[in-house]
């Protein structure tokens, strides 16, 4: 039962402690205040957050008190020393999941705080696997991630952040992808177009990028048409503010291409090929990372025998490779080396390609032959 004094202390602490979203940037005074408040008043705060039988002076507390209690839990969850004990507390877990299920407009702030708290708890590696294994928690996060109304952005965002943080656990990548509701929520969120949903889109793409780092999962991702479409659309983003999302999508393609069974189909897919070529053709200095990852992906694809026979004959691809070989800025060195490596792959595969290179771009072809000779002296006689 929460006393009047404890309730006033809760309100005072809430005013005193600023709400941050980075658990590792905090000063000693705030850290100590959070730890002390959790150890001294945690039980009462959780009881208020659950709101089932909380009274002050014989009068039930209003829904505002539940909102305040959940906001305080959100603040306290920023403290790393509190994260694990908060998750391990059954009553805390039930209070948070219960608040996530609230749907009335008057309870929106409660739901937002509960989801933000779960997202913060997912920062701690020790919490990730048990959070995913807990069915009600998983369902609460996935349901919130699937919300599409503009007013629900502040619920979607922490839910998608939590799913991304869970995806950092190596053992969860494949189970999360194979869980259809989770997969659908992430693929859908990665295509949200509103500027207010940019963070949601970023978190969804970050989670998909983590999945693609797992070989078996990457293979499954490329066979999923909805995921393929979402990834390619991410690669096609052009706004400056979407550069990070674009880079994440390009990274997913690069990871997927590492499975040799995906390479021919990736090259044959017109949308995928165009997305990679367009990224290679970007000219802004800030687009260097996008160019390099796209060139790296094309370089991986060029190792496939069928792709080798077709890549030089594709005019847009040929143009971006030649252009990349001619860039001289220090930041373009990695891209230049990747383009040259691709030309080596293509020239050593086909005498006709080498002859065409020598006739059309003699200086670049000569460099390619010299590079090939360094790799394999037998190539010097090509």
In the predicted model, what is the mean pLDDT of the chain? 84
Locus of tokens 């920062």:
123
Q: Between 218 and 360, where is the model more confident?
A: 218
What's the CA gap between 104 and 63, in Å, rounded?
A: 11
Locus of tokens 């040259």:
340
The predicted structure's pLDDT at residue 4: 55
- Six-digit token pair at 342? 């691709």
Please state, in angstroms and as integers, the Cα–Cα distance from residue 202 to each residue in 5, 191, 206, 244, following that order: 43, 10, 6, 7
Residue 144 has pLDDT above 50, yes or no: yes
The predicted structure's pLDDT at residue 364: 67
Q: Between 145 and 20, where is the model more confident?
A: 145
Nearest to 112 by CA among 102, 122, 121: 102
The predicted structure's pLDDT at residue 308: 84
- pLDDT tens digits for 197-230? 899 999 999 999 999 999 899 999 999 999 999 9
**Residue 302 per-residue DSSP state:** T
Residue 13 has pLDDT above 90, yes or no: no
Give the 3-state secondary structure of residue 55: strand
The predicted structure's pLDDT at residue 19: 41
Q: Which of 24-33, 149-158, 255-264, 337-346 shows the lowest mean pLDDT across its residues?
A: 24-33
Predicted model pTM: 0.84
Give the 3-state secondary structure of residue 156: helix
**What's the CA angle centered on 83, arms 79 and 85, to 5 degrees?**
125
- pLDDT tens digits for 34-78? 888 888 888 888 888 886 544 444 444 556 778 888 988 998 898
The predicted structure's pLDDT at residue 361: 74
Give 165-234 as a 3 state SS string: HHHCCHHHHHHHHHCHHHHHHHHHHCCCCCHHHHHHHHHHHHHHHHHHCCHHHHHHHHCCHHHHHHHHHH
């Amino acid at each position: 039962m929460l006393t009047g004094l404890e309730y006033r202390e809760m309100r005072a602490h809430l005013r005193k402690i600023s709400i941050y979203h980075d658990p590792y940037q905090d000063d000693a005074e705030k850290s100590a205040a959070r730890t002390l408040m959790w150890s001294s008043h945690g039980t009462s705060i959780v009881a208020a957050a659950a709101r089932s039988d909380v009274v002050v002076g014989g009068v039930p507390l209003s829904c505002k008190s539940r909102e305040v209690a959940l906001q305080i839990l959100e603040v306290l969850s920023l403290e790393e020393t509190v994260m694990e004990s908060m998750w391990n507390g059954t009553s805390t877990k039930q209070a948070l999941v219960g608040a996530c299920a609230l749907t009335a407009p008057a309870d929106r702030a409660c739901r937002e705080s509960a989801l933000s708290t779960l997202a913060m708890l997912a920062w701690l590696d020790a919490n990730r696997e048990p959070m995913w294994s807990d069915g009600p928690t998983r369902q609460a996060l996935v349901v919130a991630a699937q919300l599409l109304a503009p007013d629900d952005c502040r619920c979607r965002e922490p839910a998608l952040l939590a799913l991304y943080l869970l995806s950092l656990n190596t053992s969860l990548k494949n189970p999360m992808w194979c869980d259809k509701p989770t997969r659908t929520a992430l693929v859908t969120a990665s295509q949200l177009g509103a500027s207010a949903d940019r963070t949601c889109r970023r978190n969804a793409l970050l989670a998909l990028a983590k999945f693609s780092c797992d070989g078996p999962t990457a293979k499954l991702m490329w066979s999923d048409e909805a995921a393929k479409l979402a990834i390619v659309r991410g690669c096609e983003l052009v706004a400056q503010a979407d550069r990070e999302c674009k880079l994440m999508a390009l990274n997913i393609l690069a990871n997927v291409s590492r499975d040799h069974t995906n390479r021919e189909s990736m090259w044959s897919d017109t949308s995928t090929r165009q997305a990679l070529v367009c990224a290679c053709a970007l000219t802004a200095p800030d687009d260097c990372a996008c160019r390099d990852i796209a060139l790296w992906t094309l370089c991986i694809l060029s190792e496939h025998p069928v792709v080798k026979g077709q890549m030089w004959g594709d005019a847009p691809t040929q143009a971006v490779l030649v252009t990349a070989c001619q860039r001289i800025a220090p930041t373009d060195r990695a891209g230049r080396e990747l383009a040259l490596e691709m030309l080596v792959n293509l020239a050593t595969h086909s005498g006709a390609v080498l002859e065409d290179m020598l006739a059309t771009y003699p200086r670049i072809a000569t460099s390619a032959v010299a590079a090939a000779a360094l790799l394999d002296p037998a190539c010097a006689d090509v």
